Amino acid sequence: MNKKTIKRLLLALASVALLVTLTGCGTSEVKASSTGVWERIVWFFASAIKFLSVGQNIGIGIILFTLVIRLILLPLMHFQTKSMRKTQELQPEIKKLQLKYPGKDTESRRLLNEETQKLYADNNVNPYIGCLPLLVQMPVLMALYQAISRVPAIRSGHFLWLNLASPDPYWILPILAAVFTFASSWLSMKASPEQNGMTKSMTYIMPIMIFFMAWQIASGISLYWVVSNAFQVGQTLLINNPFKLEKERKAKEEAIRNAEKAKKKALKKATKKRK
C-alpha cells in the first residue's frame, strides 16, 4: 500500500468520524435571529433549501440544492480529474524511481520521496488534489444535517414516503446511495490504468459504509447522497468516461505496436539492401 493511498484512506475515515462527531453538536433551534457563525451558515443553507422548495416541498428543495452545490463544485472536480490523469501518466516514471531506490533504509526512502516530489513539481502535479473535493463537501454535508435537525421548517419536511428528519423506513435511499457510490467508485477505478489492492477494496468498502450510515441517519442526508452520487456518475461518464479512455489507450498501444512493426520491417529491408 503506497503512502498516497494510506493518506486518502485515513482522510476518508477521519471525514466520516468528523461528520458523526460534528453533526451531533448543537441541539437548539436555529432561527433568523441566531448570531453564531455556524448557526448563520446553517440558517443560510435552510433558507436556500426553502427557496428552492417548489410547491413548498422540502424534498425537492434538497434535490435542487444538491444539484446547485454539485454544479458549483464542477470546475473543481474537473480540475481534480485532469490532475489525476497527469498523476497516472507519471506512474511509469515513478516506477523507474522505485527501481532506482529499492532499499527500505531511511536514506533510500528519503531520496525516493525527494525525487518523486521533484517529478510532481516539474510536471505541475499535486497528488493530493483528489482529497480536496471531499474536504470541500464535508462542511456542506454537516451544515445540511444541522439544517434538517435544527431548523423547524426543514425538520418537519416530507418527501414521498419520507419524513426527512428520520431514517428511511424502507431502506430504499440507503440502497440507492450505496449503489450510486459503488457505480461512481467503479467508474473512477476503471478510468485508471494503474490500480492497487486498496483502491479495489475501497470500491466495495465505501458503498457498505455509506449504506450503514444512510440506514441510520436522517433521510434528508440520504437523499443528498443519492442525488450527489448519481450526479457524480453522470459527471464521470461525461468528462472522464472510462470506456472512452480505455478505447483511446488501446488505440495508442496499437499505434505503438504498428510503429514498432514498421520500424522492424524497414530495418530488415535496409539490411537486405546492404547484403
Contact 193, 143 (CB under 8 A): no
Is residue 142 assigned to a domain? yes
Is residue 170 assigned to a domain? yes
Answer yes or no: pTM beyond 0.75.
Answer: no
Residue 267: the pLDDT is 76
Residue 19: the pLDDT is 52
Is residue 248 assigned to a domain? no
Biggest CA–CA distance in the chain, Å, is 95
Grid coordinates of 250: 488501446
Cα Rg for the chain, rounded, in angstroms?
A: 24
Residue 6: the pLDDT is 45
Is residue 95 assigned to a domain? no
> 162: closest CA among 233, 226, 209?
226
Is residue 21 assigned to a domain? yes
Rounded Cα distance between 27 and 259, Å, is: 68
Cα dihedral value 61, 81, 184, 4, nearest 10? -120
Is residue 258 assigned to a domain? no
Question: Read out DSSP for 174-196?
Answer: HHHHHHHHHHHHHHHHHT-S---
Query: pLDDT by residue for the chain (275 residues), tens digit each?
Result: 444 444 455 455 555 555 554 445 555 777 777 777 888 888 888 888 888 988 888 889 989 988 998 888 887 777 777 777 777 777 777 777 777 777 676 777 777 788 788 877 777 777 666 666 667 777 877 888 788 878 887 878 888 888 888 888 888 989 998 898 888 878 777 766 555 555 567 777 788 888 888 888 888 888 888 988 898 888 887 777 677 767 777 777 677 777 777 777 777 776 766 65
Cα dihedral value 10, 11, 16, 17, nearest 10? 70
Residue 76: the pLDDT is 76
Instruction: Say how many domains are in the chain.
Output: 1
Rounded Cα distance between 262 and 266, Å, is: 6
Is residue 72 assigned to a domain? yes
Domain span at 193: 3-90+125-240
The region, left, alpha or beta by phi > 0 then psi within -120 to 50, assigned to residue 160 is left
Is residue 274 assigned to a domain? no
Cα dihedral value 67, 71, 72, 76, nearest 10? 130
Q: Count CB atoms within 10 A of the CB of residue 67.
A: 15
Residue 258: the pLDDT is 74
Residue 64: the pLDDT is 92
Contact 181, 203 (CB under 8 A): no
Q: Which residues contact 236 (CB under 8 A, 6 or more apart)?
A: 184, 187, 188, 191, 242
Contact 147, 168 (CB under 8 A): no
Q: In 77-177, which ranges are E strands? A: 158-159, 162-163
Q: Which residues on neighbouring strands pair with residue 159, listed in sequence order?
A: 162
